[in-house]
């Protein structure tokens, strides 16, 4: 067993308390490789933001669990080396079984999500409670989910949104003991959140559901998944340099800002980072077809990613200066 405190990590409890009081959200950025990690840490140090490093089941398999542990420990030291020791959480994104959550906790994760949102309600409660009972023995925080987002998350996909039912949230939180709750209010995973016909605009998120949840769970940290904005200029850049992404749209940043100032304490962003990396790499290959040193295309990708993260922290989540 490697406890997260040995790696210099923190759980999410205090971060959420401060985010709730301060009306901002903690960034939860997904990563699976060195350049993404460097971009996240340097962006957060430069803006003095706390951060949740988020790893999906697939990302853990891709990166290797042993390497991940050292990468997380390295991230803590890297932040200090850059000049500012920000609080860092290592979080399992969309855990799908007790065994996976247990294994992550035993290998240094300070926070886990158990996503039983696709299960019948009582099974979701039972599985989530089992994970909480194990995690809390080690002071690891747990995120649960009620309601299903449309889109793909690891191997599970849903064609339609099933909005969170506010009447279930008090029962779920009290019976499971979770530390935070992901809800479904109209966001979805991936780069194709909304397919718009000409002249149409993105429909607003269901803030009425969020407000009802807040009323029923006063002061309780809420999590927003599927919060990429799919910036049009990045999509255009990808397409300009030979890519083919058509009719994509994400969650407008003003809506995320509004969510961040409410009980939403954690905002998950993965796809926007993937798009930024893709745009930067495509540009290098388009302009310099003879390039073959990975540092010369992964380096610009890392830089573009860092700028994207800084923008999110400063202009969308409001977590700059909160570390």
- Pick out residues in 227-256 that bind ligand 13P (CB under 6 A): 227-228
Q: Identify whether the C-beta of residue 52 lies closer than 8 Å to the C-beta of residue 111.
A: yes
> Which does residue 58 touch among Zn ion, ligand 13P, ligand G3H, none (CB within 5 to 8 A, set by kind)?
ligand G3H
Part in contact with Zn ion (CB under 5 A); list of ranges 130-138, 159-167, 223-231, 306-314: 223-231
- DSSP bridge partners of 142: 112
Candidate list 73, 206, 225, 266; residue touching ligand 13P; CB under 6 A = 225
- Pick out residues in 290-319 that bind ligand 13P (CB under 6 A): none
Rounded to the nearest angstrom, the gap between the alpha carbon of residue 106 and the centroid of all alpha carbons in its chain is 21
Q: Which is nearer to ligand 13P, 144 or 190 (CB)?
A: 190
Q: Which is nearer to ligand 13P, 42 or 117 (CB)?
A: 117
11 is an interface residue for ligand 13P by CB under 6 A: no
Give the residue among 178, 172, 195 at the shortest CA–CA distance from 124.
172
Number of H helices, E strands in the chain: 12, 10
Q: What phi and psi values does residue 166 have, to the nearest 5 degrees? A: -55, -30
Q: Which is nearer to ligand 13P, 73 or 127 (CB)?
A: 127
d(CA 225, CA 248): 18
Question: Can 93 be counted among the known catalytic residues?
Answer: yes
- DSSP bridge partners of 54: 30, 91
Q: Identify whether the C-beta of residue 27 lies closer than 8 Å to the C-beta of residue 267.
A: yes
Part in contact with ligand 13P (CB under 6 A); list of ranges 10-18, 122-130, 264-272, 280-288: 264-272
Shortest CB 90 distance to ligand 13P, Å: 14
DSSP strand pairing (151-153 vs 156-158): antiparallel
d(CA 228, CA 115): 19
| Positions in the binding site for ligand G3H (CB under 6 A) | 30, 56, 58-59, 93-94, 153-154, 189, 270
- Pick out residues in 162-191 that bind ligand 13P (CB under 6 A): 189-190
Q: Which is nearer to ligand G3H, 94 or 282 (CB)?
A: 94
Structure tokens at 265: 């304490």
Catalytic annotation, residues = 93
């Amino acid at each position: 067993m490697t406890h997260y405190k040995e790696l210099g990590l923190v759980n999410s409890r205090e971060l959420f308390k401060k985010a709730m009081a301060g009306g901002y959200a903690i960034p939860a950025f997904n990563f699976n490789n060195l350049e993404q990690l460097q971009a996240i840490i340097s962006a957060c140090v430069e803006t003095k933001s706390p951060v949740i490093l988020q790893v999906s089941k697939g990302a853990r398999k891709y990166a290797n669990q042993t390497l991940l542990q050292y990468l997380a420990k390295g991230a803590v030291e890297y932040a200090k080396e850059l000049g500012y020791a920000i609080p860092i959480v290592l979080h399992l994104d969309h855990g799908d079984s007790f065994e996976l959550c247990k294994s992550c906790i035993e290998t240094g994760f300070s926070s886990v999500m158990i996503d039983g949102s696709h299960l019948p309600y009582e099974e979701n409660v039972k599985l989530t409670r089992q994970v909480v009972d194990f995690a809390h023995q080690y002071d690891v925080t747990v995120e649960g989910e009620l309601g299903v987002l449309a889109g793909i998350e690891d191997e599970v996909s849903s064609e339609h949104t099933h909005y969170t039912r506010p009447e279930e949230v008090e029962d779920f939180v009290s019976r499971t003991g979770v530390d935070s709750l992901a809800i479904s209010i109209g966001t979805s995973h991936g780069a194709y959140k909304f397919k718009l016909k000409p002249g149409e605009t993105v429909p607003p998120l269901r803030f009425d559901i969020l407000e009802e949840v807040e009323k029923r769970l006063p002061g309780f940290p809420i999590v927003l998944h599927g919060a990429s904005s799919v910036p049009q200029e990045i999509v255009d850049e990808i397409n300009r340099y030979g890519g083919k992404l058509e009719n994509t749209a994400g969650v407008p940043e003003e809506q995320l800002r509004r969510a961040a100032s409410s009980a939403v304490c954690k905002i998950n962003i993965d796809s926007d980072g993937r798009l930024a990396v893709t745009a930067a790499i495509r540009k290098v290959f388009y302009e310099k077809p003879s390039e073959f040193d990975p540092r010369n295309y992964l380096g610009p990708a890392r830089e573009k990613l860092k700028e994207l993260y800084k923008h999110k922290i400063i202009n969308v989540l409001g977590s700059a200066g909160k570390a």
